[in-house]
Amino acid sequence: MGLQKTSGAAGGVVYDLDGTLVDSRDDLADSVNAMLGRLGLPERDPVVIYGFIGEGAERLIRRSLGPTHEERYPKRPRSGARSTGSACWPGPACIPG
- pLDDT category at 66 given cuts 50, 70, 90 is very high
Give the pLDDT confidence score for residue 64 in this predicted structure: 94
pLDDT, mean over the chain: 77
pTM exceeding the 0.75 threshold for the entire prediction = no
| pLDDT at residue 87 tops 50 | no
**Which positions are annotated as active-site residues?**
16
- Taking a C-beta distance cutoff of 8 angstroms, is the pair 36, 62 a contact? no
Radius of gyration of the chain (CA): 16
- Please return the burial class of 15, using the count of CB atoms within 10 Å of its CB with bins 0-12, 13-18 and 19+: exposed
| pLDDT at residue 90 tops 60 | no
